[in-house]
């Protein structure tokens, strides 16, 4: 990883927009920081698209999709999009059809119960009531699980046929081939009729944990906030650049640099 100071001005000047993780990228201690919120607003004012892509539940994300200065939030690792309408209301769109979601939900609840029953200390995430297309086990938000139990949760989910990934706070599992990268591709088609792969050098991604690995791999303009250091040993793909600041401060640092280089 190169220091963020090495980010080339030409990359900033070519950008169409920014994708960003939420937890421990925009937030600090569970809440978005004032500097990160201001950074989102300034990026949009500068004419850049801003989309948050998160493992958080759609229910948890819904109020923020209307309140934060973002074009959309893609929740549950790419499965649900919350789009801000011009009047400030929020529209919900799904990657999977209703029948698929219903069948998957029933099966996932069985896996969730199995995890909680067989892995000591494993508890469903606090935002689980708002989840529609995945399940989540808390490992660092309100419950602390060691690496061995995190690994056991992942193995149990995958053994049941789910995709599983680890964020900075949760272990997420779901049925389907989507992930954050597929969600980013989908939202660009939905909102702007654009092909992400054809212009990926004109988009950036900011994240902090292992469920961002595919984004770091795909985006040449990828940035980790400094707290990514916690996950470096588990990351198959690292971001190209790393900020000095952690969490919201690191995102604000990135935004300041981009905006200064575009001025």
φ, ψ (nearest 5 deg) of residue 246: -95, 150
Task: Please tell me the predicted confidence (pLDDT) of residue 87.
Answer: 85
φ, ψ (nearest 5 deg) of residue 93: -130, 150
Task: Please tell me the predicted confidence (pLDDT) of residue 185.
Answer: 98
Q: Which domains, and CATH codes, for the chain?
A: 2-95+178-262 (3.40.50.1000), 98-174 (3.90.1070.10)
What is the tens place of the pLDDT at every residue in 217-248? 999 999 999 999 999 999 999 999 999 999 99
Comparing CA positions, the residue from 218, 234, 241 lying closest to residue 53 is 218
Terminal C-alpha separation, the chain:
26
What is the rounded CA–CA span in Å between residue 69 and residue 41? 5
Please answer whether residues 78 and 183 qualify as being in contact, where contact means their C-beta atoms are separated by less than 8 angstroms.
yes
Task: Please tell me the predicted confidence (pLDDT) of residue 238.
Answer: 97
Q: What is the pTM of this model?
A: 0.95
What is the tens place of the pLDDT at every residue in 160-208? 999 999 999 999 999 999 999 999 999 999 999 999 999 999 999 999 9
φ, ψ (nearest 5 deg) of residue 60: -65, -40
Distances (CA, A) of 4 to 63, 205, 234, 239: 31, 13, 21, 10
What is the tens place of the pLDDT at every residue in 56-115? 999 999 999 999 999 999 999 999 999 988 888 999 999 999 999 999 999 999 999 999
Say how many C-beta atoms besides its own lie within 10 A of residue 220's C-beta.
Answer: 12
């Amino acid at each position: 990883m190169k220091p963020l100071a090495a980010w080339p001005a030409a990359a900033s000047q070519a950008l169409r927009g920014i994708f960003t993780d939420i937890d421990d990228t925009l937030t600090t201690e569970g809440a978005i920081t004032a500097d990160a919120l201001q950074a989102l607003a300034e990026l949009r004012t500068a004419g850049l698209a801003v989309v948050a892509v998160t493992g958080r539940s759609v229910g948890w994300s819904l109020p923020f999709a209307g309140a934060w200065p973002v074009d959309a939030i893609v929740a549950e690792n790419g499965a649900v999009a919350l789009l801000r309408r011009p009047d400030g209301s929020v529209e919900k769109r799904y990657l999977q059809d209703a029948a698929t979601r219903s069948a998957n939900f029933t099966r996932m609840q069985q896996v969730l119960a199995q995890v909680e029953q067989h892995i000591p200390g494993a508890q469903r995430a606090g935002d689980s009531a708002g989840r529609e297309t995945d399940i989540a086990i808390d490992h660092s938000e309100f419950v602390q699980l060691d690496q061995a139990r995190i690994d056991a949760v992942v193995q149990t989910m995958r053994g049941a046929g789910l995709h599983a990934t680890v964020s900075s706070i949760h272990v997420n599992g779901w049925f389907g081939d989507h992930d954050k990268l597929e969600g980013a591709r989908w939202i660009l088609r939905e909102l702007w009729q654009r092909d992400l792969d054809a212009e990926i050098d004109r988009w950036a991604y900011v994240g902090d944990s292992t469920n961002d690995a595919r984004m770091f791999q795909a985006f040449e303009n990828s940035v980790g906030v400094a707290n990514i250091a916690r996950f470096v040993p588990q990351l198959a793909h690292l971001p190209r650049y790393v900020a000095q600041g952690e969490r919201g401060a690191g995102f604000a640092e990135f935004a300041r640099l981009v905006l200064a280089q575009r001025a």
